[in-house]
Structure 1
């Protein structure tokens, strides 16, 4: 750990900002964390559900991973459906990781586990306080809405897609919107779905739909339709509909993720579609990398370390989104008849499982120490 000449100011107390706070505290670095909102994500809004193995590995040393594992539901296989009576199951157990599954847990509960650990460590979140401006990026001077002026060691913009920090720096926001709408609905089903199995249905008109269980008979239903009611209408056994949302997606990223000692992480640095469940995880990896590099006195490496992975995931997610939004007939036929045969080959199973769990990306160097 290297000495620093002021606190790290964290703008935003979502999963990314909270992870950065947890990791900075674990590494003994002083910080302040502020958020313009009144509190964490409401528990009834599930938002980001998927927690991937690398995220669990990142959060293991702090003890957060154990809390998440005790509360979440592991999805251990994916079932792909190609129409009535035709499906194939891909086990994730062949993936090269100690946690070969997607941990399904609503974002509000993930945030509360991070908050609980910080509270136990005596860390207070400054709710209702926003970063209003930043100057002198190599020794950031941060102005808060509370009137405070902070001579910071660093500033981390974890403040979402409309990031004040990014806008204050004038960093271009590159990319484009995506045609069409996504809708999601959190539903309760009877009979209860298998909690260990996620379902991707490629046999529906109008694009793929996915069902991800998250315990007690509840599941997330998501698809490229304009109205969440249309999703629910095509699913049998729905006994209750909870939180619903309709949203547009875009594929954009900041052209820079750092300027001097000011850094961008999470949605402030990159956004993409929910296909593949990468979004929150990618932001948490940003935060963990930043905490590590700050503690090592190597913060100048942050952009170099993160931007290639960000671009790779945006490219992957765009390709997956294009495919599931309207897979061509030949591709459906190839998957329907070729995938069951290919899955008899262990290398194919391992490779697909690793791709689904995002294990094809470089592993953070400190996880091997």
Structure 2
């Protein structure tokens, strides 16, 4: 953080920061602060960390930023480098695409989000910051110099009030902080009901890390292997487990759930002394695998800017979110199109890119976080 003393030689008081939410963005923010000697409070409404793995792709750019905390593909167990993905359309193999390296490394590694968050929490704990579970954000009242926050412990009827210099809302798509701040969440909802499931199987091909099965009716199944022996399937329609069993006869279902996908963001991630990061600030299609990566980037970038006293980070966060959301929306439109012409052009491009991987380099550079 630089010189801890001001021009007069007196010590500068460290900011009091509350992080609401212990997902990827909140943990990344807190880790950056703790690594710079700034203590933060992290509260989480849940009683424990979720066992559902959610996202599976961690971009090279994110691994680089996490490596200073001792979290990297070499330090965590079983991260799988992305080397190849197979692309099918209406049951026909369109392209088996070799994934080019970006700056000498794979653009992403497959690794379960739940496991990555566990590593981040352990790294945070080693720096003296423990996540306060069963602790809910209730409300806040802001002044020009501080924020008074209402907090309630699970099982307690009476909330307590504590004062902070900054509040960082990292509490997900249904953010209580965003609602309390009255920040509009603009955008639209995709019409489809999606489904996600994980299975155990021994039938995953050893030469693929991801497989995409598209259909002319706009339905697409994305398969990935977050860890050995486990396959995650995402379908922009209900009943993904049925599709998984069709591909893997030995499948044993681990979990399945339906969900809706929206494309929304706040116009700006800050109002006064309250910030939003991760899904609290923006949600997008899972196509392109950018949600987890943008969340971690948000957390580290905000911490760097805030601790440096550089509030222009507000514009940096907003610009990055807008760009990533445009990319994921375009990507989804290309994958789910019903247009015969667009499908033909798309398929020809990827078939040609499979033979000339340099043509796909721009896409994988975006996947790697090279925005």
Please report the TM-score for the alignment, with normalisation by the length of structure 1. 0.89
CA contact (8 A) 2:78 2:227 kept: no
Which residue is 1:247 aligned to? 259
For residues 233-312 of structure 1, the aligned pairs below 5 Å read 233-298=245-310, 300-312=311-323
> Secondary structure at 1:249's aligned position in 2?
strand
Which residue is 2:226 aligned to? 214
Question: Do structure 1's residue 336 and structure 2's residue 352 form an aligned pair?
Answer: no
Q: CA separation in 1, counterparts of 2:255 and 2:216?
A: 23
Which residue is 1:32 aligned to? 41
CA 349–162 in structure 1, closer or farther in 2 if over 3 Å, else same? closer
What per-residue deviation string (whole Å, max 9, x for no partner) do you get for residues 13-62 of structure 1? 111111111111111112111011101112xx121211111111110111
> Which has the higher mean CA deviation after the structures are superposed, 209-218 or 320-329?
320-329
Match of 1:313 among 310, 321, 324: 324
C-alpha displacement at 1:234, in angstroms? 3.1
Q: CA separation in 2, counterparts of 1:153 and 1:203?
A: 52
Which residue is 2:124 aligned to? 118
CA 157–343 in structure 1, closer or farther in 2 if over 3 Å, else same? same
Which residue is 1:90 aligned to? 97
Which residue is 2:239 aligned to? 227
Which residue is 2:156 aligned to? none
> Secondary structure at 1:247's aligned position in 2?
strand
Which residue is 2:9 aligned to? none
> Which has the higher mean CA deviation after the structures are superposed, 21-30 or 194-203?
194-203
Which residue is 2:197 aligned to? 185
For residues 163-178 of structure 1, the aligned pairs below 5 Å read 163-178=175-190
Q: How many residues were matched structurally?
A: 356
Q: CA separation in 1, counterparts of 2:309 and 2:84?
A: 41
> Secondary structure at 1:116's aligned position in 2?
helix
CA contact (8 A) 2:84 2:207 kept: no
CA contact (8 A) 1:157 1:268 kept: yes
Which residue is 1:150 aligned to? 162
C-alpha displacement at 1:272, in angstroms? 1.2
> Which has the higher mean CA deviation after the structures are superposed, 167-176 or 1-10?
1-10
Question: Do structure 1's residue 16 and structure 2's residue 25 form an aligned pair?
Answer: yes
> Secondary structure at 1:311's aligned position in 2?
helix
C-alpha displacement at 1:140, in angstroms? 1.6
C-alpha displacement at 1:92, in angstroms? 2.4
CA contact (8 A) 1:9 1:156 kept: yes
Which residue is 1:365 aligned to? none
* Structure 2 alignment gaps of length 5 or more: 3-11, 154-158
CA 315–4 in structure 1, closer or farther in 2 if over 3 Å, else same? farther
Q: CA separation in 2, counterparts of 1:225 and 1:98?
A: 37
> Which has the higher mean CA deviation after the structures are superposed, 190-199 or 303-312?
190-199
Which residue is 1:364 aligned to? none
Q: CA separation in 1, counterparts of 2:97 and 2:229?
A: 22
Q: CA separation in 2, counterparts of 1:186 and 1:321?
A: 21
Which residue is 1:140 aligned to? 147
C-alpha displacement at 1:318, in angstroms? 1.4
What per-residue deviation string (whole Å, max 9, x for no partner) do you get for residues 296-323 of structure 1? 111x212201111111111111122222
Q: CA separation in 1, counterparts of 2:75 and 2:279?
A: 22
> Secondary structure at 1:179's aligned position in 2?
strand
Which residue is 1:325 aligned to? 336
CA 205–231 in structure 1, closer or farther in 2 if over 3 Å, else same? farther
Q: CA RMSD in A?
A: 2.2
Q: CA separation in 2, counterparts of 1:291 and 1:313?
A: 20
> Secondary structure at 2:319's aligned position in 1?
helix
Q: CA separation in 2, counterparts of 1:71 and 1:21?
A: 25
Q: CA separation in 1, counterparts of 2:332 and 2:71?
A: 31
* Structure 1 alignment gaps of length 5 or more: 362-369
Match of 2:107 among 92, 101, 110: 101
